[in-house]
């Protein structure tokens, strides 16, 4: 069997895990950072928690005799991606990244594209706004301007929310009608989101378009140099080739 480690925490990692469940050629383990309180139970062996930097990941790969590394972390999980790229070089283990394409603006969208969270917070401006923040829980520090009302939606409740915030805990996928109802109910006039891409959370963009809600879109940080495919299906083809080459 060919042993592989999947760095997960995304829809793509879960899809790949489902596709590999019961595959007698590939012995896969799925890794979670452990940031969400209750990850969905995967159908393959899994582990949880950081490895301890590049050095820790190299030790893990060597001790577990991993032969292939798949980085299927979120497009904004930049540190883990850097560590995966470095560890694969040091341990001399092939690395494949699954990176879903970013969202593109469509006709009717009112996007302001910004480089990072501080710029997103500044782009809200001086006038009071009702802001829907869907950026996860670890990037909230920039959003503290007292004139705005923040509605924060995240998988787990944030540890340090801004004082003028209302919290909604929910896990996607969401549909467009739900998103429109949420924005209407809370009188949202601006949405702040990372350009995560993918279909699970895209309905908020369609809802914003229909309601004329402005969007502050935080652009993706550039990923490190690595061989990349757009989804789990293509990653599976890559793994099939790797398995065939190994004769398993
Ligand atoms: P990050 O900043 O790139 O990584 C921080 C540290 O978390 C890493 O150095 C590593 O610790 C640990 N880590 C990250 N992903 C891991 C994994 N799959 N398995 C084991 N350890 C992992 O990551 P992040 O942005 O906090 O994201 C954490 C997790 O949430 C990832 O699994 C990511 O796919 C998922 N996620 C992130 C976002 C987002 O917007 N950032 C959105 C949805 C899901 P060590 O250095 O100790 O190894």
What is the rounded end-to-end Cα distance, in angstroms, of the chain?
6
Spatial CA neighbour of 145 closest among 107, 178, 192: 192
Q: Note whether 186 and 129 are within 8 A (CB).
A: no
Under 8 Å between Cβ of 151 and 204: no
Going residue by residue through the chain, which has 248 residues, state the pLDDT in tens, using 9 for 90 and above: 999 999 999 999 999 999 999 999 999 999 999 987 666 789 999 999 999 999 999 999 999 999 999 999 999 999 999 999 999 999 999 999 999 999 999 999 999 999 999 999 999 999 999 999 999 888 999 999 999 999 999 988 998 888 889 999 998 899 999 999 999 999 999 999 999 999 989 999 999 999 999 999 999 999 999 999 999 999 999 999 999 998 88
d(CA 4, CA 30): 9
Atom of ligand 1 nearest to the CA of 7: 18
Which residues, judged by CB distance below 6 Å to any ligand atom, belong to the binding site of ligand 1? Answer: 7-10, 31-33, 35, 50-53, 56-57, 73-74, 76-80, 83, 136, 194
Pocket test for ligand 1, best of 14, 16, 33, 192 (most atoms within 8 A of CB): 33
Q: Is 154 helix (H, G, I), strand (E, B) or coil?
A: strand
112-116-121-126 Cα dihedral, nearest 10 degrees: -60
Phi first, then psi: give them for residue 115, nearest 5 degrees.
-85, -30
Name every residue whose Cβ is closer than 8 Å to that of residue 243 and which is 6 or more positions away in sequence.
2, 25, 26
Closest CA to 112 of 223, 187, 213: 213
**pTM, full prediction:** 0.94
pLDDT digits (tens, 9 = 90+) for 163-174: 889 999 998 899
CA of 8 to the centre of ligand 1 (A): 8
**CA-135 nearest atom, ligand 1:** 40
Determine the atom of ligand 1 nearest the C-alpha atom of 80.
3
């Amino acid at each position: 069997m060919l042993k592989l480690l999947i760095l997960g925490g995304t829809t793509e990692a879960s899809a790949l895990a489902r596709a590999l469940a019961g595959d007698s050629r590939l012995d896969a383990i799925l890794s979670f950072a452990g940031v969400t309180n209750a990850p969905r139970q995967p159908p393959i062996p899994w582990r949880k928690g950081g490895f301890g930097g590049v050095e820790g990941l190299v030790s893990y790969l060597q001790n577990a005799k991993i032969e292939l590394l798949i980085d299927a972390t979120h497009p904004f999980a930049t540190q883990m991606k850097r560590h995966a790229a470095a560890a694969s070089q040091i341990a001399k283990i092939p690395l494949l990244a699954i990176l879903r394409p970013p969202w593109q603006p469509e006709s009717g969208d009112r996007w302001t594209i910004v480089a990072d969270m501080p710029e997103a917070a500044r782009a809200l401006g001086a006038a009071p706004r009702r802001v829907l923040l869907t950026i996860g829980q670890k990037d909230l520090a920039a959003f503290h301007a007292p004139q705005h009302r923040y509605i924060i939606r995240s998988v787990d409740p944030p540890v340090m929310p801004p004082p003028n915030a209302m919290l909604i805990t929910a896990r996607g996928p969401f549909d467009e009608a739900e998103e429109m109802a949420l924005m209407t109910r809370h009188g949202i006039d601006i949405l702040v989101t990372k350009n995560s891409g993918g279909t699970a959370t895209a309905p908020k963009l369609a809802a914003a378009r229909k309601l004329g809600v402005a969007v502050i879109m935080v652009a993706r940080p550039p990923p490190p140099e690595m061989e990349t495919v757009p989804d789990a299906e293509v990653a599976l083809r890559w793994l099939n080739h790797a398995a065939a080459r190994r004769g398993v």
